[in-house]
Each structure stands twice: as structure tokens, then as C-alpha cells.
Amino acid sequence: MKTFLYTAILALASSAHPPAALADGDYGSVPLRDKEQHLIDTSNELHGYFASQAMVYGDEEVLEVVRRVGRDLAPPPTDDYVEYRFFVLRDPSPNAFALPNGDVYIHTGMLARLRDESQLAGVLAHEINHVAGHHGIVEHRATKKKAITSMVLSGFGGFGDLINIGLHASVYGFSRELEQEADDHAAALLLDSPYDPHALPEIFDILAEDHEGLNPRIPTMWSTHPDSRARARTSREQVAQMPRRPRESDAFELVMHQLRMLTIRDYIQDDYPHTAIALAESVIERYPNEPELLHVLGDAWQAMGGRGPLDADELSNRDKRRNARERHRRTREQRLAEQLETEEGRAAYAANLARAEDTYRRALAIDPDFAPAWRGLGEVDEQLERPRDAAEAYLRYVRLAPDAADRAIVVRRLEALAGKLKAQENASEL
């Protein structure tokens, strides 16, 4: 999936493209030249592709908020090939991108981290400026010109590498200029809108978060942008003199609640448990008595396996690169097996399971019939080699939630546990 996305979107999305612009964006009308229509055609087709891969997030309430904020910000289109449309993609990476035809996509992983509509407006304003400035088309032209120049020059013996190094450096610099331009225009766009421009630097703070010590956590479009911390500083200076506007987060929080739960689960599923814990704890601060939230937090602690606590700021870039390499080399089961070979890993494993158990019990203290917490307890007991406790917890789950989607999975686990219990019984009789 990622391969396709990068091939397609890198060719189109302004926010993504590291090689790029020799020129500033053009906020007037930009007629398409020969052979550029394919940029628009491909942009139009991409949505069909996302739909074919079931990636388009369909919660109408969430979409309505995103569309409304987008509409509040989008300027009138300057060309007939541009029509602003706003979509959400189911992807936990904190990302957003815009296509030359005006389609703006924001990931669930970005929405889940935002606190209010002003922050959402900050993200969308940045992307809208990529469209309004025709950055995709400008970059396409610039890249093509540079690539041709590079190839021609590199054909004359010996200069190729030098030329390419120079090209790469300047290209990267220009890309940053366009990004900076989008940031600058975003601040101005927010100033002319109902939203608070002071939300803009907060987005870069969010993007600078690195809970997993992988920086970037996963290669995202935004990771090719200028350093997020530097952008946050620049942005703070930029908006310092702008007026503050009132911000309301309760309604936004409510609409995004299920999306956040889904994103936490996605982080667990994708094996980013530190990020899942951070996000879950931040939501639990606001909703401390929700068993469902405590349950996903328990799952996140389980997913930690033999990993200890992590302070990404204390890791060197080399450590982070090594972490990323290791992560992509081995399956999560292999990594857990390696962690459990060390004393430190075993201690972390026990501590994480204890945290998970404690969290499930907190959920059950609020609602003793909250079935998923019983399943979580069963999983912890199973990992701690307590088959009787595990069987009791799973059984409780199956009885409380007879129509659960994972019933067959849990029954298979119970079948295995029955075998273990019988073996224990036979052994004790002997």
C-alpha cells in the first residue's frame, strides 16, 4: 500500500515532494501546458483508488467538520481544473496532503491528535495553500527541467555525481521554500478566518512528537518538510502579533472521540504502543471513567511486550536509525522473543502486563460487565501462564458478549486452555 501511495502521491502532492521548485507558488490562474493534464487526471482517479482499497473514512459527522472548516478557508478557485474537496483517509500516521485538482486529504492519525477546529484549520490552511499556489504544477515543471539538465550535464564525463549532489541540495532547499511559503500563507489565511492563528505553531509541536524514538515515526509526507521544531519557532514568531480568537474544544472532542479510539487501536495494531499509550492517556485525562478507553489503554500496555519506558529526547539520531532498522528487519514476535532473552526485557514484560492488568481492572471497577476488559484480562493471564484464570476470564467474556465478532477466536483459545487444564489435572493425579 505504502509503495503505491508514495509513487502516486509523490508525483502529485505538493506537501510531499522533496525534489522540487525552482520558483515560488503562483496564486493566480495557471493554465495547464501540454502533457500536464495527466496530473489532474491522476488526481481525479486517486480517490477511486483509495475507495477501492477501503481507505476512505466515512464517518459523516467527522467529514462534516472537516468539510465545513475547509470551506471556511478555501479561496475561490482560479482555474477550472481546481475544485476544493476535503476527505479523511484511514491511516494513523499524522499526515495530510493536497493534490493539484484541489482534493485535500487528512489522515485519521492527524485528526486524532488535534484538539480543536483552529488546529484543524491550521492543517487545512497549509494544504489549501499548496493547491491555491499551484505548488504541484510548479514542482512538476521544476523537477522536469532539473532532471533534464542533470541528465544532459551528467552525460559529459565525470561531472555527473557533482551535478547530482548540487541538484539534490538545491532541490531540497527549494522544497523547503515552498513549504515555508505554504506555512506563511496559512497564517494569513487563518487571520482572515473565524479560527485562531495561534493554533498554527501548535500543529508543528504535535508533528515534532516522537513517542517511539524512530523520528520520523513512520516516513510521512510531513517528514520531508522542514524540521517541525524549527517550523514551530518560526510560526510562533509569525503569529505573535496576531489577535487571539476564542477556541472551543468540547464539541470537537465529542465528534472525534470514536476516531481517536480507532486511531489508538490502529497504533496498537501497527505496533506503535508508546504512541497509543500517549494518545490514550491524553484522552483519559478528559474522560477518566470510560471503560472502553481504559480497555484500549490496557491493550496498549499489553502491546508493549518487553519494551521499557522511552524518552525519545535522550536517544541519539544513530539510536533512532538503529531502532527503525531493527523494526523493519524482524517481525514483532521475533523482537519479543529477543527482548525476553534479557533480564531487562523480562522485567519490562512483567511490568507492562501488570500495568495492563491494572488498567483492565480499573475498567471493570467502573462496569463489571464490560466484556472486552475480561478478554484483556484473559490475555494477560494467558501470557503469565495462569491457564485457570485465563479460562475464567475468557469464559466470562464469551458469556457476556455472545455475539462478539471475535467469539470464534476466543473459543479456540479456550479449547487450547481446556487441553492445558486437563494436562495439569492428569499430572497432579499421577
Positions in the binding site for other proteins (CB under 8 A): 1-4, 7-8, 11, 38, 42, 45-46, 48-49, 51-56, 58, 90, 140, 143-144, 147-148, 151, 154-155, 160, 262, 266, 269-271, 328-331, 333-334, 388, 391-392, 395, 398, 405-409, 411-412, 414-415, 417-418, 421-422, 425
Residue owning grid cell 513512520: 218
Grid coordinates belonging to 39: 496530473
Phi/psi-derived region of residue 134, left when phi > 0, alpha when psi is between -120 and 50, beta in every other case: left
The smaller minimum CB distance to other proteins, of residues 251 and 411, is found at 411
Question: Least Å distance between CB 427 and other proteins?
Answer: 14
Give whichever of 151 and 254 is closer to other proteins, judged by the CB atom: 151
361: Cβ–Cβ under 8 A, 6 or more apart, which residues?
A: 373, 377
47 closest CA partner among 97, 92, 95: 97
- Tell me the DSSP string of 333-365: HHHHHHHTTSHHHHHHHHHHHHHHHHHHHHHHH
Name the minimum Å distance from CB 11 to other proteins: 6
Other CB atoms closer than 10 Å to residue 72's CB: what's the count?
16
Nearer to other proteins, 269 or 289 (CB): 269
Q: Are 154 and 211 in contact (CB under 8 A)?
A: no
**Least separation, in Å, of the C-beta of 295 and other proteins?**
15
Q: Minimum Å distance from CB 374 to other proteins?
A: 14
User: Is the Cβ of residue 71 or residue 388 nearer to other proteins in the bound state?
Assistant: 388
Residue 212 or 266: which CB sits closer to other proteins?
266
Tell which residue, 26, 19, 16, has the closest CA to residue 148.
Answer: 19
Q: Give the span between the Cα atoms of 91 and 259, in whole angstroms.
A: 11
Cβ nearer to other proteins, comparing 187 with 390: 390
CB of 133 to other proteins, least distance (A): 21
CB atoms under 10 Å from CB of 391, counted, come to 20
CB-CB contact of 237 with 204 (8 Å): no
User: Residue 145 CB, nearest distance to other proteins (Å)?
Assistant: 9
